[in-house]
């Protein structure tokens, strides 16, 4: 079905001429240097998300990696490179976690990119496979946030905005107020996002929050940052996820139905000549435009999307950023059920960050794992019928001296 907003000029490549090219983007298919230009996900594994007081981050990572290996029968000795995404797990986290399964001696890279750390790990492995550094690579994401003192962003002491209360919920509350003022978006429409994602989560045993809520319950919940209530915000979670990524030759040997990563794009915020940092929407729009271009697809082709939705308003704004609807139409889109499983594009059928949880470093890798299962028809009760194209969208930073953070968009095809 053709989506509203397909002709929105924000997704016109010509409009992007005002920005310099994104240096972190991978080259489009069709390279002539003899290096593998197609990469595939061949296995995925994940822990449940939620409070796990008796399990440390290294053990969570081990469980996710072992789940991916066991589901595929791939020998760990075949892995030629690994990358671990995390935000607050300390130095050499990947080495310590992978030592538990005897995976040593190979290049192990640790990346931190705020909430986009896991997605950055995926892109790092994709680029390594494309460059011929390995035939098989492991992307791992993990986070332990429910330890004492966890669940916050440790920002530098001289940050004025955070000292004045501009923390994440407050920042998104301002985004919500702006969207309400500009487009007439209602609190009920925002609450509809939480209702949808909580309903999806009931079908996914890995989810942190396993309780349905109504629009009224969302609106009546304790206020966090007006107009966002407790149920408008994602929970603080522990968890880990892992995916195995391979070249085309290795993928055909290892997997009967590999899922191709048709586009892997990473960018960061830009400063204009006036010193203004572009916002989350601009990062998402630029990353999505490039990903669609690389994959040779458009927003109307996407069947399932795992979206960065830590707050209800974030999901609505990103409907518009990713081209699923025109600016100002997101409220109507959720109201009409067009992002439900079976709708125009199923958004966050896993439950999303709002219900599945958001263990920062794990999130981006878990999104890829979810799309892998969806495109292979293995998502169980929350399977999107006939899904052939999936999009994963992750944003890191965007507040308190993280304004120029990161946005990653991956497009997967069956």
Q: Does 255 participate in catalysis according to the annotation?
A: no
Q: Does 115 participate in catalysis according to the annotation?
A: yes
- Cα dihedral: 175, 180, 183, 188 (round 10): 120
| Distance separating alpha carbons of residues 84 and 392, to the nearest angstrom | 18
| Distance separating alpha carbons of residues 36 and 354, to the nearest angstrom | 37
Of 115, 207, 255, 305, catalytic: 115
Q: What is the DSSP pairing of strand 259-267 with strand 406-413?
A: antiparallel
DSSP letters spanning 170-223: HHHHHHHHHHHHHH---HHHHHHHHHHHHHHHTT-TT-S------HHHHHHSPE
Picking from 24, 89, 115, 21, the residue whose alpha carbon sits closest to that of residue 402 is 115
Of 86, 358, 393, 410, catalytic: 358
Contact 5, 330 (CB under 8 A): no
The backbone torsions φ and ψ at residue 92, rounded to the nearest 5 degrees and listed phi first, read 55, 35
Contact 212, 199 (CB under 8 A): yes
Catalytic residue positions? 115, 358
């Amino acid at each position: 079905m053709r989506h509203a907003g397909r002709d929105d000029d924000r997704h016109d490549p010509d409009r992007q001429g005002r920005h310099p090219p994104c240096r972190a983007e991978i080259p489009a298919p069709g390279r002539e240097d003899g290096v593998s230009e197609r990469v595939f996900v061949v296995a995925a594994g994940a822990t449940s998300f939620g409070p796990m007081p008796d399990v440390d981050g290294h053990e969570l990572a081990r469980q996710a990696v072992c789940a991916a290996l066991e589901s595929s029968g791939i020998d760990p000795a075949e892995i030629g490179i690994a990358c671990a995404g995390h935000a607050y797990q300390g130095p050499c986290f990947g080495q310590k976690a992978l030592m538990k399964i005897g995976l040593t001696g190979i290049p192990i890279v640790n990346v931190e990119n705020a909430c986009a750390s896991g997605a950055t790990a995926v892109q790092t492995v994709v680029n390594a496979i494309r460059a011929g550094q390995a035939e098989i690579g492991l992307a791992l994401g993990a986070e332990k946030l429910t330890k004492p003192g966890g669940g916050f962003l440790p920002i530098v002491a001289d940050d004025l905005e955070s000292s004045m209360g501009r923390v994440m919920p407050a920042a998104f509350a301002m985004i919500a107020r702006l969207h309400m003022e500009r487009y007439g978006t209602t609190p009920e429409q925002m609450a509809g996002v939480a209702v949808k994602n909580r309903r999806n989560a009931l079908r996914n045993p890995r989810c942190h929050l396993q309780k349905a809520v109504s629009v009224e319950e969302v609106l009546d919940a304790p206020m966090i940052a007006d107009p966002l209530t407790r149920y408008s915000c994602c929970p603080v979670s522990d968890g880990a996820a892992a995916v195995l990524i391979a070249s085309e030759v290795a993928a055909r040997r290892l997997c009967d139905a590999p899922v191709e990563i048709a586009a892997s794009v990473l960018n960061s915020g830009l400063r204009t000549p006036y010193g203004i940092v572009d916002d989350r929407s601009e990062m998402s729009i630029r990353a999505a435009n490039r990903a669609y271009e690389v994959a040779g697809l458009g927003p109307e082709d996407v069947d399932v999307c795992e979206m960065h939705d830590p707050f209800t308003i974030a999901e609505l704004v990103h409907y518009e950023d990713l081209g699923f609807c025109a600016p100002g139409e997101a409220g109507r889109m959720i109201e009409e059920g067009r992002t439900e499983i079976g709708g125009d594009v199923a958004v966050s059928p896993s439950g999303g960050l709002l219900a599945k949880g958001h263990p920062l470093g794990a999130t981006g890798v878990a999104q890829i794992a979810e799309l892998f299962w969806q495109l292979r028809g293995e998502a169980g009760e929350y399977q999107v019928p006939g899904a052939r194209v999936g999009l994963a969208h992750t944003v890191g930073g965007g507040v308190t001296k993280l304004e120029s953070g990161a946005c990653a968009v991956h497009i997967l095809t069956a």
